[in-house]
Structures are given as structure tokens and as C-alpha cells.
Amino acid sequence: MQLQVMNSPFNQEQSDLLNRLLPTLTETQKVWLSGYLSATQSFSAVTEAPSQELLVKQQEKTISKEVTILYGSQTGNAQRLAEQAAKKLEEKGFQVVTSSMSDFKPNSLKKVKNLLITVSTHGEGDPPDNALTFHEFVKGRRAPKLDDFHFSVLSLGDSSYEFFCQTGKDFDERLEELGGTRLYPRVDCDLDYDEPATEWLEGVIASLCEAGESEIVTPIEQSVTGESVYSRKNPFKAEVLENLNLNGRGSNKETRHLELSLEGSGLTFEPGDSLGVYPENDPAVVDLILEEIQWEPEEKVSINKQGDVLSLKEALTSHLEITVLTKSLLEQVAQLSGNENLRELLSPGNEEKLKAYRQGRDLLDLIRDFGQWGDSAQEFVSTLRKMPARLYSIASSLSANPDEVHLTIGAVRYNAHERERNGVCSILCAERLKPGESLPIYIQHNQNFKLPSNPDTPIIMVGPGTGVAPFRSFMQEREEAGVQGKSWMFFGDQHFVTDFLYQTEWQKWLKTGVLTKMDVAFSRDTDEKVYVQNRMLEHSAELFGWLQEGAAVYICGDEKNMAHDVHETLIGIIEKEGSMSREEAVSYLTDMQKEKRYQRDVY
């Protein structure tokens, strides 16, 4: 709105000056100016302009120096960003409390003045496990009205999913409904979250400090200190020591066991952590894409804001994602190409058609169906996401295998839309990666999937297929440490003869007592398919007895099917054996989760 003499208390000269100044101000400058004017108003009785020192003191009276940071994290990214934000705020003199949402007492929310949330979205728009209870509380009727409450949300997600960053959006909208005021607008991060996360923290700190100039914040990832210089942004090239097929001849599956060298990296990990791997795209698919577009393979293109340059072919091979079609990509392509058919697909009311089109198709399909886009190779690649790392549960113990890290990777092959499709990283490992070659890797620490601090605590592990990986690391660690606590493993796959992954190791641990009990389910060996949850039900009384003794339960594997079924089975067992209602059984399992006795590593 333009200021005029008629609609403001200013004269014509003042209005003209303000109309020229106000549009040039940043949000940070506006916030500071507001604080400045409030402070000077308090000193209206003073004939001279207040000193900068007095202004700062006056502002500090109205700005709470206490900040609470809550994180909801499944794989550890949101937790790490929360901890790094806390460190930066403490350097600025703020008193910071950082907590998992599951450890935070929801009723304490009304006592908080400044709240920062870092949260990921899991599955189809669901909160991560350690955010479920807090998410339910905030969205429910018991959530308090929030007066004099300021907040900001950093939301992590994957734009290839329909409900991108949904959990962060839920918190952001609900906290505003409850009366909160945003310190800084919500930032939704895709898989490559470093730059937007840093910008979010800059904005939050500037708002909290009410600084006259934007605070300069070291990029979040670079604020981590530790022995190793290698990280997600600076991966270590690990030499492949072994690459073996774990399945027997005649199996319907191919599961690769990789052993990688960490020698010279300084990288360390604990059982339950994951390994991030940066793969390369299938060169055959890259060649097909290059055949469809008109630009030269060796043409140079910039691949990031820093101006790093690669050839078009190398960018498509090693840097850019070509196997997933996000809605954002399709919208950019429609705008650049002007293709009416694509615009129609993206129009309101066609959500199901769009979802069906994206399923199982890749960049090559998009080019063949709607033509290429952009006036240059640079414009073409600028629409594409950076290739995300693939996360795999670590299948070894560092204490048992110094300077090594092991992975268990199932090869992904399928047919869709009359083309054979391959998993990017799994088929690289299965078909092209040889011992002596290297993979760019980093450690993804995950505090939400850890062995009990008390080694005597019984553990129950459920991990069919490649979900067995972290439990191999658990057993190696417990064997190395001489742990005496009871352990029970539930493993399942298709056939006993060909698909019993790490069979000899499990048998050895049973024999030596490192593993107390093991139950297996091979679904294709019997007329009626049997799964791990069936074995759990067969031993429901004993399993509940372990829970009553304080056992911790761990689940690793497919979330949509296996993990969901196992979760429901656990509720059923608790309900039956504990003589509880379903509501009481659900509450029992929720309490286990709060006590970190129910942990999941699911995908």
C-alpha cells in the first residue's frame, strides 16, 4: 500500500521518502526497524536520542533468549540439523533446549516462547516414529492456545512423494492456528537440503536477534566437528574389498554382500547407523537419453550454484537424477516446452492420472512422450534434481571388523511400461562394481535405532530379507563385547535352501549362545505362505513374557507391508497375552516407543 497524506500521519515529503524506502527493505530490516521504533517509543521522555547500548538493552527485555528445538527424525537427518542449529544459537548467546519430540512433554508446550521444529516426513505423509505422539497432541483438542509464542519449521522430504514435507506443513499450519507467530517462514527441503537449511537458520537467527543486517551462518553441514573430514557433502571413496551374491543357485533373488574399506578415512559408526552411497546412473540409459536430445554429450553445463562444470554426459551419469519423475519436474517441463498434453495432465482434477503416469516412468519416458525442453543443455539440466544418495543399514560392527563397513543390498529389477527397469545403486553393485573399484560413501548416524545402553536388556529382532543387515551388526557387536543379555531373531525370505542370508553366521551365534533363539519363515517352501509375523504369533506367550521382562524390539525392512503387519501383530499379542483392550495394547506399545524399547529402521 502506498502511503499518502490522506491515509497516514505523515506529510507529503515524509510519505514520498517512506514510499521510496519501504519497498527496498528486506524482511530482516523490517523486523529490526520495528524493534527499533518500539525501543525508542519507550524513551520518549528523553530529549536526546537513546544510545545503541540502551536500545539493545531495551530490546533484550522483550526478546526471550530461550529457544526450544524439537526434532522428529527417522534416519537422523532432522536430528542432526536440530543439533547443529542449537550449536549456532548457543554461539549467539541463546539458551537452547534440544529434544526429540518423543522425549518432550507435550503439556510443556504452553511454557515455550520460541520453538524451532526440524522434522521429516515418512511414508505417505506420515510423521517419523519419534514424532507420532507430539504430532497427535498438537493436532488434537488438548493442544493449548499459544500466546506470546514464536516458531519456525524446517521440513525435510522427498518431492517424488505425493505428500511432500506433509508433517512439517501440519506443524506449521497448526501452530499458527493455536495462536503462534512465525519467526521465519517454513522452509520445505527436498533431498538436497543443505542450502535451504542454512538459509532457514540464517533467517531464524536474524529474527531472534532482531539484527540490523542478516546474520552470516556457516553452512550447516560444515558446522559438524569430528575426526573425519568426510561427510555427506565430502564423501569418502571407499575401495570395494568383496562383492558376493548371498543367494544360492536357482533363487528368484540376488542379494549382494559388499565389504568396503574405510582405511584412512577416519570414519566411525555404531550398530544401527546407515551408510550413504552415491551411485552412478546406468550408462545405457544415459546414452538413450542423449540420443533423444539434440545437445552434444561433451557440451559443458553448470551443475550447482557454485558453478561447478561437467560435460552433459557426465552430469547425467554421476550428478543428476534421471530415474524419478517429481511433480515439480513435470511442472517445469510443461512451462518450458509448452506441451499442451503435459499441461492437460497437470491440470486440476487429473491428480490420479498424474500419479499413475509418474509411477514407474523415468526421464527417458518423459522425453519420448512429450519431447525435449529448454533452449540449451544448461536450461535442460537446470530442471533436474541432484542425484540423492542411497541409504543402507550397515551390516557389520566396526569393533569386529576394523576399517571396514559391510552392506546387504537386494538387486532391484522389474518391468514397467514395456521397458526393463533397474535400481540405480543395487544394479550398479550387482552388475558393474568390481573389487578394487571404489564407491563414494559417508556415514549416516541414526540415534533412533540403537542397542540398549544396558547390555543385559533382552532384544527381539525382526528382519526379513535385507532387513537382516543391522541385526548382523548387532550380533557382531554383542559377540565382540561378550554381552550376556538374551536375544531373539525372526528372519524370513522365500526359500530356506537359496535365501537364508548369513545362515552359517546365525547358526554359529546360536551354538555359542550369542543368539538365544531364532525363528525363521520361508514363504515359498509351504503350500500356505508363512511370514515372520506368523512365527511371532506362534510364540505369542513367550514373546509377551520377554516384553514384560523389559525386552527391546527392533524392526527393519519394508514399511508399507512387513513393518505394518508386524506392528499390528505386536498389538494383537499384547492385547491377547496381557488381557488388554486394543486401546490399552496400543498405549503399551507407545510407552515402549517412548522408552526406546520399540525402534524401527524402515523404508
Half-sphere exposure of 487 (CA within 13 A, CB side): 27
What sign for the dihedral angle of Cα 58, 62, 67, 72?
negative
Is the pLDDT reported for residue 48 higher than 90? no
φ/ψ of residue 568, rounded to 5? -65, -35
Percent of the chain at pLDDT > 70 equals 87
Q: Which of 193, 199, 117, 182 is nearest to 158 (CA)?
A: 193
Rounded to whole angstroms, the Cα distance separating 500 from 498 reads 6
559 pLDDT band, cuts 50/70/90, is confident
271 pLDDT band, cuts 50/70/90, is very high
Q: Using a CB cutoff of 8 Å and minimum separation of 24, what contacts does 427-430 make?
A: 427/282, 428/279, 428/280, 428/282, 429/243, 429/256, 429/258, 430/245, 430/254, 430/256
Task: Yes or no: say if 550 and 517 are a contact pair by the CB < 8 Å rule.
Answer: no
Q: Give the helix/strand (H/E) hosting 566.
A: helix 564-577
Rounded to whole angstroms, the Cα distance separating 119 from 467 reads 24
Please tell me the predicted confidence (pLDDT) of residue 9: 62
- Render pLDDT for 137-184 as a digit per residue (tens, 0 to 9): 999 988 999 989 999 999 999 998 889 999 999 999 999 999 999 999
Please tell me the predicted confidence (pLDDT) of residue 2: 56
Q: Which of 333, 157, 336 is nearest to 345 (CA)?
A: 333
Is the pLDDT reported for residue 193 higher than 80? yes
Please tell me the predicted confidence (pLDDT) of residue 59: 45
- Render pLDDT for 327-359 as a digit per residue (tens, 0 to 9): 999 999 999 999 999 999 999 999 999 999 999
25 pLDDT band, cuts 50/70/90, is low
Is the pLDDT reported for residue 217 higher than 90? no
Give me the domains of the chain, ranges plus CATH numbers.
16-60 (no CATH), 63-223 (3.40.50.360), 236-279+388-444 (2.40.30.10), 286-381 (1.20.990.10), 459-602 (3.40.50.80)
Q: Which of 535, 405, 560 is nearest to 469 (CA)?
A: 405
Task: Yes or no: say if 490 and 508 are a contact pair by the CB < 8 Å rule.
Answer: no
- DSSP one-letter code for 363: H
Please tell me the predicted confidence (pLDDT) of residue 429: 97
Task: Yes or no: say if 101 and 134 are a contact pair by the CB < 8 Å rule.
Answer: yes
Please tell me the predicted confidence (pLDDT) of residue 306: 83
Q: Give the helix/strand (H/E) hosting 290.
A: helix 283-292
60 pLDDT band, cuts 50/70/90, is very low
- Over range 550-559, report the average pLDDT: 95
Please tell me the predicted confidence (pLDDT) of residue 305: 83
* DSSP letters for 78-102: HHHHHHHHHHHHHHTT-EEEEEEGG
Query: For 34-43, 498-507, 539-548, which range has the lowest pLDDT when averaged over its residues?
Result: 34-43
pLDDT, greater one: 25 or 431: 431
Residues 6 or more apart whose Cβ sits within 8 Å of residue 513: none
Please tell me the predicted confidence (pLDDT) of residue 225: 42
- Over range 391-405, report the average pLDDT: 97
The pLDDT mean for the chain works out to 89
Query: For 37-41, 58-62, 352-356, 467-471, which range has the lowest pLDDT when averaged over its residues?
Result: 58-62
For the stretch 226-247, what's the b/e string if a residue is b when 16 or more beta carbons lie within 10 angstroms of its beta carbon? eebebbbeebbebebbebeebb
pLDDT, greater one: 511 or 47: 511
- Cell numbers 538413450 label which residue? 288
Please tell me the predicted confidence (pLDDT) of residue 57: 46
Q: What is the grid cell recorded at 343?
A: 499441461
Query: For 52-56, 204-208, 363-367, 437-441, which range has the lowest pLDDT when averaged over its residues?
Result: 52-56
Is the pLDDT reported for residue 378 higher than 60? yes
- Over range 296-315, report the average pLDDT: 93
Identify each DSSP E strand in 278-412 by its residue range: 300-302, 309-311, 390-393, 404-410
Q: What is the grid cell recorded at 302?
A: 553448470
Dihedral through CA 568, CA 569, CA 570, CA 571, nearest 10? Answer: 50
